[in-house]
Structure 1
Amino acid sequence: MAVSRGFTFVLAVCCYAAAVALLASADASSDFLKCLAAAEELGLPSQLVVARGASPSLFTSVLASSVRNPRFLAPGTVRPVCVVTPTNASHVQAAVLCGRRHGRSVRPEVFALVDLASLRAVRVNRRAATAWVDSGATVGELSYAVAKADPGLAFAAGLCPTIGVGGHFSGGGIGMMMRKYGLSVDNVLDAVVIDANGRLLDKKAMGRDHFWAIRGGGGESFGIVLSWKVRLLPVPRTVTVFNIWKTTQGAVDAVTKWQTLAPALPDELTIRVVVQSKQALFQSVYLGTCDQLLPVMSSRFPELGMTRADCREMSWLQSTMYINSGGASSTPVEELLNRTTSLDAFTKNKSDYVKKAISKASWEKIFPWFDVTGAGLIILEPHGGRGGRVNTIADGDTPYPHRSGVLYNIQYIAFWPTTAPAAVPHWIKNVHGFMEPFVSSKPRAAYVNYRDLDIGENAVAAGGATSYESGRVWGEKYFGAANFRRLALTKGKVDAGDYFRNEQSIPPLVTTN
């Protein structure tokens, strides 16, 4: 989830656009804007640059189009000096070069925003089972384009259709097919990135470490990724979904059983749980028919009480819409192309990973935190898999380290009306604190795509770059110690001057070895 105080590379939870910050010093910001205004010589048309002071109403409109959490539109929120809306790679290069010419900031509140929403093409190669997708495309647009090109192909990504693929892929990309096919980043084959010097690089040109870093290293530290080549994955023409609610004691019993069962089920079957208002919603996608699913559920998970009446058979594309809409089977799949989201509620996210099942007695104490007011919820996403990829890939093969031994991850979401003050409710901090004895420790792990400044922020070291030691505080929670050090060493090679920077960007670590 995107966070406050100028954190401008908006990351993955439901509903965000692809955007990245370019830093410019306060003294140089005027020169930076002049450079952008004259950047037609560099290939950037002036109409693609909207300055904060030039047209306040237009600026607010353009900025709001990339915001998916109204907390970042609230009074007092730091705003960029301008928004750049490129339509091709040369426009992004021009913005980077202007930033390089006119310095960078030790103040993260002074920045320009490059909004990649117009870079959203999806190019599917059915024969090769691959696709090139631009970072500004949404998950919904990618899913729709792939399924329309070939209903027997899909891509492993998250459920929320308005997620921008640039942020989603950059942090890992968990979803309902990851137990069989891995994370989104496990299926990235190539990428095109503009680095801190304005160079356009592909996988071969950027090198092994740079390519490794952009596939799960947080996205905002190693350049601006314009597009991704992904491996498409076979799916049956008919899949089966269900939504089953459990209440009171039945919910506690079912969640307790689910913890160790869900990671051990056939890789084709994913069941996630949403806990809210003292109830548990079990949502499933099975890559097969209802007739194939029923005996598995009756023998392995009788506590859920699934029957044929709970089954809904449909295409894979329809299943993504069904789960995201909470079971509205009549919603047309074209709704996946809708890029707009509601700005009626403020939100805040946190995350955890669970390696040891939580006892039934503990769940009985956890459920009351989710009272009938409905102001918060948790989502439990199963990992595991006997032959699947999410847990059989080594922790260091990508920057995403939460693989071996992980049963499931937890996403905490607090939401409150925009008519209320924008301060984060105490509820999410308190429930997160209550859960500490039950989740991973040393460090308490977190998912980088649910950004959380509460776990630490960067400090500036001598020389103006981000301090490696301050970055370790939060970075080892997202990436583990070994992966974080490799990320920092890579940052030191590709962006030693720390040009791409924010409160939780990877610090450059430069060694003499």
Structure 2
Amino acid sequence: MSTITPLWFLLTTLTFLLSATSDSSPLENFLQCLSNHSRPFNIKSHLHPKKSLTFIYIAQTHTHNHRFYAPTAPKPLAIVTALDESHVQGTVVCAKSNGIQIRIRSGGHDCEGLSYVSDVPFVVLDMFHFGSVDVDIENGTEWVETGATIGEVYYHTAERSGVHAFPGGVCPTVGAGGHFLVVAMEISCVDNIIDARLVDVNGNILDRKSMGEDQFWAIRGGGGGSFGVIHSWKIKFVFVTPKVTVFKVMRNLELEDGAKGLVYKWQLIATKLHEDLFIRVMHDVVDGTQNANKKTIQVTFIGLFLGQGDQMLSLVNESFPELGLEQKSVRMEWNPYGGKMHEISPSETPFPHRAGNLFLIEYLTSWGQDGVDAGNRYLNISRSFYEFMTPYVSHSPREAFLNYRDLDIGANHPSNATNMNIAQ
């Protein structure tokens, strides 16, 4: 009898343990797995399950599109605010082993919210702690972690040099990476990325050499979570003049009959301007001057020139005299392409929008009302205008750059079928 009791107890204990394990949820298993993979940096204080007190604050702090504040918006099972590469590796390995999708967020400016929403169970891997910018002026390069913003990259670069530049855009709070233009020189960031560090699907840390040229080519196509979790980019600098000149000229379509002609002229010449001169156009809806209920269009011409003001005035008045630019001058957005971007083959990098594309159009609608009804109303306004523009933009297919995500063009569903496949 004494020899049977311990055996019975052992079998009972094993049965209980197996039952407890099988009853654990994927989230519980994920959290336990992550704790086991977070050495030497404990991840506990950087793990925010949905029921934790810190969850809402962390979720909303880096969600710039407030439409996804709504209670009906899908929420992650947990948010991992990784502090060390081991946290990134652990998140990838543990999510994969438990069948949980990962959404990767750095700046949080994803227009469609795809870096923090999903239709299937998911966790958010938030990279905002990875904000280092390591400038190497001697070799003309810098390593930029993906949590750094464009503004931080500009700041740290300018601290070290007045003639080195990063191919970036105009929004300082956007996370580093993707497609940004060096204004006036019209060079894409993707053309100046020379190395990267990423965590692949198996949790391995790879650089350009170890991942191979095919994968390095692919990760520069935007949507940095497609082929792994990008930890950092190595970019090469371009050189600019020590002094630049900027201007802003506004015209009202209600008051000035010639304003429409100015926009048309800009469309014709914007991609053919001097390589050191960049002029973009912003269109804004404003109140009418006589009737506040009447809306009109205000167009703003914003320019930047790599050089002195007198040189810029001469160039602008020679190529665009209709603008009437004066020394004292010294929102749909249209950014002209051209310059170096047209000189590079569409297959050189996974950014194919090169020669033949005159400018990029961004459709931007902002509203202050809360609630699903308000969101749907303004989205319908945006989609109506988007449909109106169909005859005037690229077609067969209609194109959009991946980092300006556009789900109205199409999307892969969880089954990996596309909208087109489902329609057929």
Scaled to the shorter chain, the TM-score interval is 0.7 to 0.9
Cα distance 1:177–1:201, how it changes in 2: closer, same or farther (>3 A)? farther
Cα distance 1:44–1:195, how it changes in 2: closer, same or farther (>3 A)? farther
SS in 1 for 2:217: helix
> 2:101–2:123: 8 Å Cα contact kept in structure 1?
no
Cα distance 1:51–1:92, how it changes in 2: closer, same or farther (>3 A)? same
Aligned to 2:357: 406
Higher RCO (CA 8 Å, separation ≥ 6 residues): 1
Which amino acid is 2:325 matched to? M
Deviation at 1:223, TM superposition (A): 0.5
Aligned mates of 1:471, 1:225 — CA distance in 2 = 28
Aligned to 1:154: 165
Aligned to 1:126: 137
Aligned mates of 1:178, 1:233 — CA distance in 2 = 9
SS in 2 for 1:282: strand
> 1:122–1:133: 8 Å Cα contact kept in structure 2?
yes
SS in 1 for 2:95: helix
> 2:166–2:182: 8 Å Cα contact kept in structure 1?
no
Which of 235, 253, 261 is equivalent to 2:261?
253
Aligned to 1:298: 317
Provide, for residues 103-149 of structure 1, a one-character-per-residue CA deviation record: whole Å limited to 9, x for no partner. Answer: 24597431111111000000101111110010000000001100111
Deviation at 1:174, TM superposition (A): 3.5
> 2:39–2:86: 8 Å Cα contact kept in structure 1?
no
> 2:222–2:403: 8 Å Cα contact kept in structure 1?
no
Cα distance 1:177–1:189, how it changes in 2: closer, same or farther (>3 A)? farther
Q: Percent identity?
A: 36
- Structure 1, gaps ≥5 residues long: 1-25, 312-376, 475-513
SS in 1 for 2:54: helix
Cα distance 1:190–1:445, how it changes in 2: closer, same or farther (>3 A)? same
Cα distance 1:424–1:447, how it changes in 2: closer, same or farther (>3 A)? farther
Which amino acid is 2:406 matched to? D
Which of 13, 19, 28 is equivalent to 1:30?
28
> 2:169–2:182: 8 Å Cα contact kept in structure 1?
yes
> 1:82–1:112: 8 Å Cα contact kept in structure 2?
yes
SS in 2 for 1:417: coil
Aligned mates of 2:231, 2:399 — CA distance in 1 = 29
- Structure 2, gaps ≥5 residues long: 1-23, 103-117, 286-296
Aligned mates of 1:193, 1:424 — CA distance in 2 = 40
Deviation at 1:294, TM superposition (A): 1.2
> 2:198–2:232: 8 Å Cα contact kept in structure 1?
yes
Which amino acid is 1:206 matched to? M
Aligned mates of 1:445, 1:59 — CA distance in 2 = 36
Give the alignment of 1:32-47 within 5 angstroms.
Answer: 32-41=30-39, 43-47=41-45
Provide, for residues 299-354 of structure 1, a one-character-per-residue CA deviation record: whole Å limited to 9, x for no partner. Answer: 1101100011222xxxxxxxxxxxxxxxxxxxxxxxxxxxxxxxxxxxxxxxxxxx
Deviation at 1:227, TM superposition (A): 0.4
Deviation at 1:295, TM superposition (A): 1.1
Which segment drifts farther, 98-107 or 134-143? 98-107
Aligned to 2:84: 88
Matched, 1:236 2:241: yes
Aligned to 1:321: none
> 1:44–1:94: 8 Å Cα contact kept in structure 2?
no
Provide, for residues 173-222 of structure 1, a one-character-per-residue CA deviation record: whole Å limited to 9, x for no partner. Answer: 2452452xx11111101000000000000001111111011112422210
Matched, 1:285 2:293: no
Which amino acid is 1:396 matched to? S
Which of 402, 406, 417 is equivalent to 1:448?
402
> 1:135–1:228: 8 Å Cα contact kept in structure 2?
yes
Deviation at 1:399, TM superposition (A): 1.2
Which segment drifts farther, 114-123 or 38-47? 38-47
Aligned mates of 1:404, 1:472 — CA distance in 2 = 28
> 1:86–1:115: 8 Å Cα contact kept in structure 2?
yes
Aligned to 2:6: none
Which amino acid is 1:173 matched to? F
> 1:42–1:94: 8 Å Cα contact kept in structure 2?
no
Aligned to 1:369: none
Aligned to 2:174: 163
Instruction: Give the TM-score taking structure 2 as reference length.
Output: 0.82
Give the alignment of 1:50-199 within 5 angstroms.
Answer: 50-53=48-51, 55=52, 57-104=53-100, 108-165=119-176, 169-170=177-178, 172-179=179-186, 182-199=187-204
Which of 384, 397, 407 is equivalent to 1:430?
384
SS in 1 for 2:195: strand
> 1:37–1:49: 8 Å Cα contact kept in structure 2?
no
> 2:30–2:95: 8 Å Cα contact kept in structure 1?
yes
Aligned mates of 1:105, 1:186 — CA distance in 2 = 30
Instruction: Give the TM-score taking structure 1 as reference length.
Output: 0.68
Aligned mates of 2:225, 2:119 — CA distance in 1 = 13
Aligned to 2:345: 394
Which amino acid is 1:266 matched to? H
